[in-house]
């Protein structure tokens, strides 16, 4: 499963870290933006799986697909999915549904073209734990920011302002530390987490980070979920 997790990491990098607010608006208004986004996905995937590109990723009888072809197919399907879903912002109270549908589709396509034969080769779901930890870190930061925004928009039937640069990265910095605390050995991590949560509550009440209570606690819950999963993988996977 080495290649699967590397492609998941490539997807998270291209879909969130390398995709600015301006890029998102470009995608919504032009297929050229979707194409440029897909090219970034392709290049990021190639970079992270370069050592495995000449290997056979899928084999059905005499039909074989190597890494180059697999990533080309994944990228093409990614372009089609994004081209179809780019207008989903127009559907009120369905942003979360479209968000999950879009992301699950991408993850399934990655799994279909990278996981089956490779799981048999490595014999483990978690062969490269460092890559998995980084992937969950990105889920904790950028992924959680967008998911929380969608949920808040749908539940309260509003269109909250898109997180500003300061708001996004201050809260992301807070969640990075919170996530990393889950990975500490022993049992002291529980105490550190409680202290850090208290710090966040104080900062929130003093409005040093101006986000809603719903946003703060939803992001906290998602960070705790990803942190616990990453901890289980590191120490027990």
- Give per-residue pLDDT as tens, 94-107: 778 888 888 899 99
Q: How buried is residue 182: exposed, middle or buried, by Cβ count under 10 Å (0-12/13-18/19+)?
A: buried
The size of the chain, in residues, is 237
Compute the CA torsion angle 138, 180, 229, 234 (nearest 10 deg).
Answer: 110
Q: Determine the average pLDDT of the residues in 224-232.
A: 94
Q: Determine the average pLDDT of the residues in 29-44.
A: 91
Cα–Cα dist 113/123, whole Å: 17
- Contact yes or no for 154/99 (Cβ under 8 A): no
Number of continuous H segments (helices) and E segments (strands) in the chain: 11, 2
Q: Residue 191: which residues within 8 A CB-CB, separation 6 or more? A: none
- Give per-residue pLDDT as tens, 206-218: 776 777 788 888 8
Phi-psi region of 212 (alpha: psi -120 to 50; beta: other; left: phi over 0): beta
- Specify which of 12-21, 117-126, 180-189 reaches the highest per-range mean pLDDT: 180-189
pLDDT at 164: 61
DSSP H or E run through 60 = strand 56-60
Q: Does the global pTM surpass 0.95? A: no
Quickly state the pLDDT bin for 9 (edges 50, 70, 90): very high
């Amino acid at each position: 499963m080495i290649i699967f997790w590397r492609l998941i990491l490539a997807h998270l990098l291209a879909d969130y870290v390398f995709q600015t607010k301006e890029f998102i608006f470009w995608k919504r208004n032009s297929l050229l933006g979707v194409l440029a986004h897909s090219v970034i996905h392709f290049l990021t995937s190639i970079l992270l799986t370069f050592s495995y590109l000449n290997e056979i990723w899928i084999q059905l009888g005499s039909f074989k697909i190597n890494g180059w072809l697999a990533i080309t197919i994944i990228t093409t399907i990614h372009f089609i999915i994004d081209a179809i879903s780019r207008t989903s912002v127009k559907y009120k109270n369905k942003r979360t549904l479209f968000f999950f549908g879009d992301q699950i589709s991408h993850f399934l396509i990655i799994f279909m073209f990278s996981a089956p034969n490779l799981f048999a080769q490595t014999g483990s779901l978690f062969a490269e734990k460092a890559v998995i930890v980084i992937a969950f870190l990105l889920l904790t930061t950028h992924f959680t920011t967008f998911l929380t925004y969608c949920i808040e928009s749908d539940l309260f039937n509003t269109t909250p302002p898109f997180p500003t640069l300061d708001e996004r990265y201050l809260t992301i910095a807070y969640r990075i530390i919170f996530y990393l605390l889950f990975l500490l050995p022993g049992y002291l991590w529980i105490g550190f987490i409680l202290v850090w949560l208290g710090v966040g509550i104080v900062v929130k009440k003093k409005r040093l980070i101006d986000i809603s209570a719903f946003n703060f606690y939803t992001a906290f819950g998602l960070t705790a979920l990803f942190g616990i999963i990453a901890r289980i993988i590191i120490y027990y996977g």
